[in-house]
Amino acid sequence: MYRSQTLALKYFAAAITFFGVMTITGLLSAYYYINPDFLLGVIPFNIMKILHINTLVIWLLMGFMGSIYWFLPGELGRETAGIWAAEALFYVFCAAVAVVAVVFIFVQYGGSNEAALWFINQGRKYVEAPRWAAVGIVVIMVVFAYNVIGTALAARRTTGIITVLMIDLIPLILLYLIAFPAITNMSADLFWWWWLVHLWVEATWEVLIGCIMALALMQLLGTSRRIVEAWLYIEVALVLGTGILGLGHHYFWIGTPGYWLTIGGFFSALEPLPLLGMVVHAVYDAGAQHMKTTNRPALYWMMAEAFGNFIGAGVWGFMITLPQVNLYAHGTQWTVSHGHFAFWGAYACGIISVLYLVLQRTRNLAVVESHLWKWSFAALNLGLVGMTGALLVSGFVQAFVERAIGGSTLEAFISGQENAWFVDGMVARFLLAIVFTAGYAVLVWDVVTLGRRAPAIAAVSPAQ
């Protein structure tokens, strides 16, 4: 096994750990809605929410990096360039995340000064990490880019997938630089901040997961490189074509010109079109294999990725993307519902699929099969779909009572929060979050014990 693949295993272990932190902090965040006095004076809701959202970003990022470190040496036929730096930075990355989490939990707030920005919290949603940690993330991403590009240069060759990946890493890093400036003009700050958030999630990350899924498809179903690369180009072009200018669908109430709402609404309304193509592609691939594979968990999670992406990003997104609806739905639990479903479908399912592929190789399993993966698959997906359904109901109430009828006043906000449908929605969300958490626990148990509970049927060739 290459050192890069050993590093990938560490990244997957860290990713699954932070997935757990995200799940627990999400569960606790959900409980605050039922009992607002929960942990009163100890940890406020916003800190729990910061931990939930930031660990989401971190575990997905670590999952992406683990996947690339896993596939890269096999793809280019050599050890990853500068692997020593990547190995050292893995520990720095984990330690930095732990320190930031400790600061969030125990320090929580700072003054309105530079020191607070550097050491406590940058105060910008999704990228709250203090500036020193943000600098660390840039260093880690630059080394990651060097690992990929340097390996291709050292190998004196590249593949279509790796070329797309290399091109994608440049905007991925450049966009993160938007996390730094502390622009005092709120409109200008939010304008650029959305570039980071939207263009990471709906552009560069989409390409990244597209590359990872292409590599995984070749390994899982033995699909030829030519087919996978041809589809990667088509799908990336379509997703970027509709996704980039979809940026405008976030520009509500921040002082941007009104034409952005039309541009954003139009392009993001086109987003379900390529996603439908991906679903048809998934059905084709599954049918061509008659759903038979040596790694059913990986196949099922990959299918869940295609379907979850269409429903979460496509259907849930389409509900709120046109400006007339978005005007009221923006920033309500309706959007939260869409966010949960889309992140789950587009990214989380894909990473879990790759994790099972990696386990098959590292545990030397001819066939990956267990009852546990089915339970975790069912509980995680049922929990997630249930949560998004419950959040949708609460979101409807907010859009209806608080926004459309009440006109977004404080009184309307209170009235929305006290509405029985809203409250019931939040209770249902909490109960289904417990189901999701149970699914996570079973997933971890399966991942840890897979191939160790019963002897492997036959050995496969060692990882390349």
**Minimum distance, C-beta of residue 248 to another protein, in the bound complex (Å):** 14
User: CB-side exposure of 458: number of CA atoms within 13 Å?
Assistant: 4
**Minimum distance, C-beta of residue 49 to another protein, in the bound complex (Å):** 25
Question: CB–CB of 306/257 below 8 Å?
Answer: no
Long-range contacts (CB closer than 8 Å, 24 or more residues apart) made by 404-409: 404/328
Q: Would you count residue 276 as binding another protein (CB under 8 A)?
A: yes
Among 40, 280, 366, 454, binds another protein (CB under 8 A): 280
From 207, 208, 227, select the one nearest 217 (Cα to Cα).
227
Question: CB–CB of 327/289 below 8 Å?
Answer: no
**Minimum distance, C-beta of residue 77 to another protein, in the bound complex (Å):** 21
Q: Would you count residue 135 as binding another protein (CB under 8 A)?
A: no
Of residues 357 and 399, the one with the C-beta less far from another protein: 399
Among 98, 170, 227, 367, binds another protein (CB under 8 A): 227
Residue 281 phi, psi (nearest 5)? -60, -45
Among 50, 120, 399, 426, binds another protein (CB under 8 A): 399
Question: CB–CB of 172/141 below 8 Å?
Answer: yes
Q: Would you count residue 266 as binding another protein (CB under 8 A)?
A: yes
From 273, 164, 274, select the one nearest 214 (Cα to Cα).
164
Q: Would you count residue 412 as binding another protein (CB under 8 A)?
A: no
Among 41, 111, 257, 287, binds another protein (CB under 8 A): 287
Among 2, 59, 70, 316, binds another protein (CB under 8 A): 316
The neighbouring-strand residues paired with 295 are 368
Residue with tokens 């995200």: 22
Cα distance between residue 270 and residue 241, in whole Å: 9
Of residues 102 and 227, the one with the C-beta less far from another protein: 227
Among 66, 82, 136, 272, binds another protein (CB under 8 A): 272
- Taking CB under 8 A as the binding criterion, the range among 157-165, 309-317, 355-363, 431-439 that sits at the site for another protein is 309-317
Among 115, 273, 366, 454, binds another protein (CB under 8 A): 273
Residues written for the chain? 464
Which residues, including other chains, have CB under 8 Å from residue 222's CB and lie 6 or more apart? none
CB atoms < 10 A from the CB of 280, how many?
11
Q: Would you count residue 210 as binding another protein (CB under 8 A)?
A: no
Q: Would you count residue 170 as binding another protein (CB under 8 A)?
A: no
Q: Would you count residue 409 as binding another protein (CB under 8 A)?
A: no
Q: Would you count residue 319 as binding another protein (CB under 8 A)?
A: yes
Q: Would you count residue 252 as binding another protein (CB under 8 A)?
A: no
| DSSP-H helix ranges across 82-204 | 83-106, 114-119, 131-155, 160-176, 186-199
- What's the angle, vertex CA 73, arms to CA 70 and CA 76, rounded to 5? 135
Which residues, including other chains, have CB under 8 Å from residue 433's CB and lie 6 or more apart? 26, 27, 30, 383, 387
Q: Would you count residue 283 as binding another protein (CB under 8 A)?
A: yes
**Minimum distance, C-beta of residue 318 to another protein, in the bound complex (Å):** 4
Binding residues vs another protein (CB under 8 A): 224, 226-227, 230-231, 234, 265-266, 269-270, 272-273, 276-277, 279-281, 283-284, 287-288, 310-311, 314-316, 318-322, 324-325, 327-329, 334, 396, 399-400, 403-405
